[in-house]
Structure 1
Amino acid sequence: MRFLPLQIGERWFAARWLEAWLEAERDQLVLWIPVLLGTGIAAWFVLPDPASWTGYMLGGAGIAAAGLILPLGGRTGRLLMIGGIVAALGCGLAWWRAERAAAPVLARPAVVAFTARVERVDALAARDLIRLRLAPVSRADLPPRVRVNLPSGDVPLGIARGAVVTLRARLMPPPGAALPGAYDYRRVAWFDGVGATGRGFAPVTLVTSGERAGADLRARLSGHIRDRLPGAGGAVAASLATGDQGAIPEETAEAMRRSGLAHLLSVSGLHITAAVGATMLLVLRLLALSPWAALHWRLPVIAAAAGALAAIGYTWLAGAEVPTVRSCVAALLVLAALVLGREAVTLRLVAAGALVVLLVWPEALVGASFQLSFAAVVAIVALHEGARVGGWFAPREEGGGRRLLRGLASLLLTGVVVELALLPIGLYHFHKAGLYGALANIVAIPLTTFVVMPLEAAALLLDGVGLGAPLWWLCGQALGLLLWIAHTVAAAPGSVAALPAMPGGAYALVIGGGLWLALWRTSVRWAGIGSVIIGLGWTVATPAPDLLITRDGRHLALRTAAGTALLRERAGDYVRDVLSEGAGIDGELPALDDVAGARCNADLCLATARSGARVLATRSGYFVDARALNRWCARVDVVVSERRLPVGCRPRLLRIDRPVLERSGGVAVTFSPPRVRTVEHAGDHHPWINPPTLAPTPSTTDRRWRGRRAAGRDRAGRFDARRTTASPPLR
């Protein structure tokens, strides 16, 4: 007999309503298992230290214990028990994965000569670079895995996975995020086991050759396709076949991103589905030619097995990235459902794919690739599982014209829903999102699925007998049309929405509301719209930062009355992109020298922000008279320098110099309301923040160069010309 308080509790209206609602949603409850697991993983990345992670897991265990004391026959108790355990498991899983991936990181930049074994070779043809992932041999002073970029002309012939090479490179620790909210490669490198990155120098000596099978097949196939189709079309064709995007020109890649067609370049559900469908159709047609086989064998089962092998092989060929693995798992589940006679494409299938990926690679949750791919699939399946939408677009007896219009309407509605689902993810990770992607995908997806990919596959098969040229020409024409669509849509006015960094809380509200809307089936689901609206309102109401400073202090972007401008005119493309994205601006940023009201010379720049705050920044490595600099510091609100400022430099609000930036990383400042956001946070104990380090032994060349620098000389041994005043003084 149960306790009396619980018997009384069952009579409460709220308890009865909750049990009735969960009973109505019983088929949807299992969909929340990967969501709760992901919540625990996200909590590990958001919370700062082991005490917080332990507290979260204990809280999950407490919720599970609370579920045990509720009536065992009710769904509420089971939901709390399972939910608490899964959420705690997610946090512990991410913690375990981070500790398991632990590897030493380079302590400081250095030029070193070393011998290493090649683990991976990636050709970045568009940048004329080869990227090598290397495992140094017999070098205890170097991390176990480093990543080096080499000019294509400096790479010896025959280099492949398993080869041993000797080279000299300038290595540095993996860089963190340049600004708050920017891409953090340091975290990605930690889970990849990469402890240093850099650039190699010629000569590179091949000590022993590597294996030519396996991973080299992808490179050879990509090279063959680019030989048949030169230019951007061939690079896109290679990406469609193998997932190798290294040869795609930057302007083409940018056009695909701005037009909402970038998902076509990553081997994912569209490509796996096409490969599986083509394989099954071919196997069925060939086996059906034999009447005996058609009568005695279950041809659909055999075709499904062939499709599964095609999915696995294609995933291996494309490099087994997260979207490809997710799509492969989903395809295998669909094939299994077809064999068992069950409904194939459901949200349960999507949940199973997400669960597999999160259990194997929990860190994938915080990556844009995982979020974009699963958001798109969840939106599509949830939309077409709805009774009303399913009724609108269900097959029926009607004329060809109406069937075509219904199909186009289905594509348009699906595209709009997918774009709405991907919009907040694009704004959070990239600070911009395409607005016309739904219209572009109406033509681009059928063109890619039913024209480009079949022509490419047939051309590759016919190349075996030397007859593929006509099909390659047709494929090139189709790809030309695809690229024309991408460039036209990308150039359309208002094609991209740009916003500054999206607050993490707003992003959580939007994603949580979207999942609530997609995974439930009763009227309670519509409460998710309120969460989405609040999150988007919070995002729009967040002001753009007035001042952005990179982690090295060399570059900044200031929002003035005339627009946002850069401190240094010669900033590189990467720095310009990061600063423009952080400022929420789609386009090139001018230099402060060209902004009305700013006063700049070779060493200093003085400008007034739109809020009225005065900002002084140094922009050269030359000596500036300390007394003159101190006088200017007293007249301004903020002083920024990549060097250590004099003790007497005391601005009214903020003093940001090298010692500050070493603790804070990149900085974003808003003057009204006053707010300062930094990349680094005090008390953050994630393992990539303060990793175990190795001090490298520099090469002889590096020691000579550092010695000349210490003596006040440049690389050629000449003394630097030190100036005591800065060009024309600021007035």
Structure 2
Amino acid sequence: MAVRAPPICKKPVGEGAKRVTTVSVSLRVTLGFILCYANAMQSSFDPDSSDVAHENFKKATTSDGVGKALSMLFRARQLPEYLRISQIFILLELHLEKERDQLPLWIPVGIGSGITIWFLLADAYLWSAVLALCAGLAVFVKLMGQGTRVGAAIFWLSLSVGAGCTIIWLRSSSVAAPVLEQPVVTSFYAEIEKTEVLSARDMVRLTLDTHEKQGLPKRVRVNVPLVKADPDLQVGAVIQLRARLMPPAMASLPSAYDFSRRAWFMGLGATGQALGNIKVVEPAEPSWWAVSALPDYRQKLSAHVQSQMDGGAGAIGATLATGDRGAIDDADAEAMRRSGLAHLLSISGLHVTAVVGAVYLLVIRLLALFPALALRVPLPIVAAGCAAVAALSYTLLTGAQVPTIRACIAALLVLTALVIGRSAITLRMVATGALLVLIIWPETLVGPSFQLSFAAVTAIIALHTAPRIQSFFARRDEAIGKRFGRAIVALFLTGLVVELALMPIALFHFHKAGIYGALANIIAIPLTTFVIMPLEALALLLDTVGLGAPVWWVCEQALNSLLVLAHYVSSSPGSVTMLPTMPLMAFALLVFGGLWMALWTQRWRIWGILPICYGTLLVLMNRPPDIYIAGDGRHVGIRNQDGEVAMLRTGRSGFVRDMLLENAGVDGEAMALEDWPNARCNADSCAVAIEVSGRHWTILATRSSYHIPALALSAACRRADIVISERRLPASCQPRWIKADRTFLRQVGGMTVDLKSQQIETVLNHSGRHAWTRFK
């Protein structure tokens, strides 16, 4: 008697057979695509072999019933007809062959992409997955795409992305240092590593080395009031002080400035304010090594320049000579930013170029006056050597900040190219400088300084290397008026292109961009490069014999003219464009489109307009959040339908409050929340009713530390959709949607709320759990 299987066994057997068949089909389809890709790569230079990949795909996927099933769903000619995969690879191969000299320029872009991915993912397992993916893709392309430009491009791009992720991972691990967990007030001993005088803020900033004793991080930074700053506070001195120390501040809002990230790579474990007097336990020993004595020389030179010129002119003059920006008044600094002239205050490419160019021309002209020397010595090499020494000296004198070092590297590359007889100003020079910076300081990629400086230089060189622009800018035998007009047009066009290149970066980081910057720079750049800096150098030279006073007076007038220009442009109507937080995707599209147009030379560079247009559309369509909640819970901003922002606290200006207004795209002061028509406020709290997309929302925010009866608080919470407080609210407080109290904000950081889409963005979601974050 035959034994029948239970009915329950039939279904799994059938499903298993179907599952095996499905897996077989999937494997065959995958194998077909791989063979198709491999044949397309190997036959890229042979148009007649474009159907070889299809035939391999057909053979790989045709076997008995499986082949019949595939032929019904996936016809034999469907892949080449609709995707034209071989033709696409052939066309791409031809384009890359024409652009073969531009391909190395994408190596720094790949490394930068790997660094960006590392910052965005914030998880060691995901970083490992990225490295494995890059390595696997590189091996696969190396095996399947040998001898083709497409294969080589994908191979090197994969390696560069993996290298970027590895470099920043190693860099973050190498600078790891203890960080203070919570605010403390303590007395301790420390050795001074660096002093910085901020005369505009009446303070001296000290970077101290505690040698990881006394329960403190190794490196801390303390602000000391200027009246309590002893002259003996020099580098190398051991001091005893009492200070209030705090952990480095994290971002107060999503996409806001994150000082904790910068402090991590600087090795800072705490910042704070000195309390009381500072005792010098061991004075600094005299330094006979020139580099060690440079900070002292820099301070003395800055003080000397400010003593020769009064007010803002002296402060900016000291900045140009030494890089010391501490004496610049806040109003002057804001005017320079709003007018698009703030780059003049950062010692970078413009200043180093002026120094190098002046020394090179001066040396080669002086040596040319001696025929015997000019006939026996290669003057360009001697002049280039002197200019290189001047570039290094100026970099060290101005503090050797990262922007200055980048400019110095670029200047040295240009001088090297001049010596060996190669073209000096090329995009390869920019790519080499970017590559060196990304290898040594990969964390600078996500900062505005790196992005602004390299974007400006790349835009200038890409513009001036375009054939039509070159023919227009080229010197020719023409009247002086036409020559001068051509120079003005060239300067204006260069400034306009630079402004367009820098505007997305400025809007992303600072949420503002100057509109008239191109016009202001037409006057400011020549004035600074050809008048102010030469006059200042001449005055310092004449001061050695006591004859610099007349030149200092002329230099002061020129600097005052620069400040007048900055204040006039910044105060003009419509001089500044404010924008709320830009979506990250929009910024990435704008950057990619700009790089595509700048780094390629053939006609397909015009395709970069597509991501630029799409990114611009995302920016214009972006709806700003309705509620901004800072990480401390004290500062809250609410936006109404007219785009106006009201603040919960409207006291004196502070960093967090200013950051909130900046992220909201507000230029100037915000109104008080109690002045809104739908707000009911008292000394302890504010209740606000707003309407978004036809729905009414009630927001309750506390603004004092006084006791509130539990029953009254619980009843108010039940009537509110969102409750915001710097306090730790009791469990009985249960709003209808969000309870953003101290406990919750310590877990996720500051946050923004979009009431229309009911989307919440937090600092935790934006930055992830990197080593420098301290989410509970």
Band the TM-score falls in, shorter-chain normalisation: over 0.9
AA partner of residue 366 (structure 1): V
- Runs of 4+ in structure 1 deviating by more than 4 angstroms, as ranges, are 2-10
AA partner of residue 606 (structure 1): A
Q: Following the alignment from structure 1 to structure 2, what is the Cα–Cα distance between the partners of residues 145 and 670?
A: 40
Stretches of structure 1 that go unaligned for 5 or more consecutive residues are 694-731
Residue deviations 1:203-258 (CA, integer Å, cap 9, x gap) = 10112222561221111111111111121111111111111111101111000000
Q: Where does residue 522 of structure 1 map in the other structure?
A: 602
Q: Where does residue 221 of structure 2 map in the other structure?
A: 147
After TM superposition, give the deviation of residue 362 of structure 1 in Å: 0.4
> Does 192-201 or 587-596 show the bigger shift?
587-596
After TM superposition, give the deviation of residue 593 of structure 1 in Å: 2.3
Q: Where does residue 594 of structure 1 map in the other structure?
A: 675
Residue deviations 1:266-314 (CA, integer Å, cap 9, x gap) = 0111100111111112212322232211111111110000000000111
Aligned partners of 2:188 and 2:214 also within 8 Å: no
Residue deviations 1:554-613 (CA, integer Å, cap 9, x gap) = 111111357211111215332331111111111111221233332211111112235242
1:22-421 map, 5 Å:
22-137=96-211, 139-210=213-284, 211=286, 213-421=293-501
Going from structure 1 to structure 2, the CA distance change for 1:419 and 1:368 (only over 3 Å counts) comes to same
Q: Following the alignment from structure 1 to structure 2, what is the Cα–Cα distance between the partners of residues 580 and 53?
A: 35
Instruction: Return the index of the structure with the highest Cα Rg.
Output: 2
Q: Where does residue 669 of structure 1 map in the other structure?
A: 753
After TM superposition, give the deviation of residue 683 of structure 1 in Å: 10
Aligned partners of 2:678 and 2:690 also within 8 Å: no
Aligned partners of 1:546 and 1:609 also within 8 Å: no
Report the TM-score, using the length of structure 2 for normalisation: 0.87
Residue deviations 1:517-546 (CA, integer Å, cap 9, x gap) = 110011111111110111121122111111
Q: Following the alignment from structure 2 to structure 1, what is the Cα–Cα distance between the partners of residues 336 and 743?
A: 41
Match of 1:646 among 700, 717, 730: 730
Q: Where does residue 68 of structure 2 map in the other structure?
A: none
- 2:584 counterpart of 1:504: yes
After TM superposition, give the deviation of residue 93 of structure 1 in Å: 0.4
Q: Following the alignment from structure 2 to structure 1, what is the Cα–Cα distance between the partners of residues 116 and 650?
A: 39
Q: Where does residue 578 of structure 1 map in the other structure?
A: 659
Q: Where does residue 725 of structure 1 map in the other structure?
A: none
Q: Following the alignment from structure 2 to structure 1, what is the Cα–Cα distance between the partners of residues 258 and 230?
A: 32
Going from structure 1 to structure 2, the CA distance change for 1:391 and 1:113 (only over 3 Å counts) comes to same
> Does 301-310 or 681-690 show the bigger shift?
681-690
Identity %: 51
Going from structure 1 to structure 2, the CA distance change for 1:6 and 1:32 (only over 3 Å counts) comes to closer
After TM superposition, give the deviation of residue 4 of structure 1 in Å: 6.9
Q: Following the alignment from structure 1 to structure 2, what is the Cα–Cα distance between the partners of residues 682 and 233?
A: 41
Q: Where does residue 67 of structure 2 map in the other structure?
A: none
Q: Where does residue 626 of structure 1 map in the other structure?
A: 710
Specify the SS of the correspondent of 1:167.
Answer: strand
Q: Where does residue 658 of structure 1 map in the other structure?
A: 742
> Does 180-189 or 79-88 show the bigger shift?
79-88
Q: Following the alignment from structure 1 to structure 2, what is the Cα–Cα distance between the partners of residues 400 and 191?
A: 53
AA partner of residue 603 (structure 1): D
Going from structure 1 to structure 2, the CA distance change for 1:624 and 1:14 (only over 3 Å counts) comes to same
AA partner of residue 316 (structure 1): L
Aligned partners of 2:179 and 2:247 also within 8 Å: yes
Aligned partners of 1:110 and 1:171 also within 8 Å: yes
Residue deviations 1:403-428 (CA, integer Å, cap 9, x gap) = 11000001111111111111110111
Q: Following the alignment from structure 1 to structure 2, what is the Cα–Cα distance between the partners of residues 396 and 208?
A: 67
Q: Following the alignment from structure 1 to structure 2, what is the Cα–Cα distance between the partners of residues 396 and 610?
A: 65
Residue deviations 1:657-697 (CA, integer Å, cap 9, x gap) = 01100101111111012111111139933211259x9xxxx
Aligned partners of 1:119 and 1:162 also within 8 Å: yes
Specify the SS of the correspondent of 1:133.
Answer: strand
Aligned partners of 1:69 and 1:77 also within 8 Å: no
Q: Where does residue 81 of structure 2 map in the other structure?
A: none
Aligned partners of 1:48 and 1:684 also within 8 Å: yes
After TM superposition, give the deviation of residue 80 of structure 1 in Å: 1.6
- 2:504 counterpart of 1:424: yes
From the two aligned structures, give the one with the greater helix fraction.
2
Q: Where does residue 696 of structure 1 map in the other structure?
A: none
After TM superposition, give the deviation of residue 631 of structure 1 in Å: 1.5
Specify the SS of the correspondent of 1:72.
Answer: coil
Specify the SS of the correspondent of 2:678.
Answer: coil
Aligned partners of 1:335 and 1:344 also within 8 Å: yes
Q: Where does residue 710 of structure 1 map in the other structure?
A: none
Q: CA RMSD for the aligned pairs?
A: 1.7
- 2:627 counterpart of 1:551: no
Q: Following the alignment from structure 2 to structure 1, what is the Cα–Cα distance between the partners of residues 691 and 520?
A: 38
Aligned partners of 1:576 and 1:589 also within 8 Å: no
After TM superposition, give the deviation of residue 6 of structure 1 in Å: 5.8
Residue deviations 1:467-502 (CA, integer Å, cap 9, x gap) = 111111101100111001100110011111111111
Report the TM-score, using the length of structure 1 for normalisation: 0.92
Q: Where does residue 689 of structure 2 map in the other structure?
A: 608
Specify the SS of the correspondent of 1:680.
Answer: helix
> Does 236-245 or 11-20 show the bigger shift?
11-20
> Does 207-216 or 167-176 show the bigger shift?
207-216
Aligned partners of 1:103 and 1:190 also within 8 Å: yes
Match of 2:765 among 664, 670, 681: 681
Q: Following the alignment from structure 1 to structure 2, what is the Cα–Cα distance between the partners of residues 576 and 186?
A: 18
AA partner of residue 180 (structure 2): L
Match of 2:648 among 567, 581, 597: 567
After TM superposition, give the deviation of residue 37 of structure 1 in Å: 0.7
AA partner of residue 103 (structure 1): A
AA partner of residue 79 (structure 1): A
> Does 261-270 or 3-12 show the bigger shift?
3-12
Q: Following the alignment from structure 1 to structure 2, what is the Cα–Cα distance between the partners of residues 4 and 134?
A: 63
Q: Where does residue 572 of structure 2 map in the other structure?
A: 492
Q: Following the alignment from structure 2 to structure 1, what is the Cα–Cα distance between the partners of residues 543 and 472?
A: 44
AA partner of residue 239 (structure 2): V
AA partner of residue 260 (structure 1): G
Structure number with the bigger relative contact order (C-alpha 8 A, sep ≥ 6) is 1
After TM superposition, give the deviation of residue 96 of structure 1 in Å: 0.3
After TM superposition, give the deviation of residue 51 of structure 1 in Å: 0.8
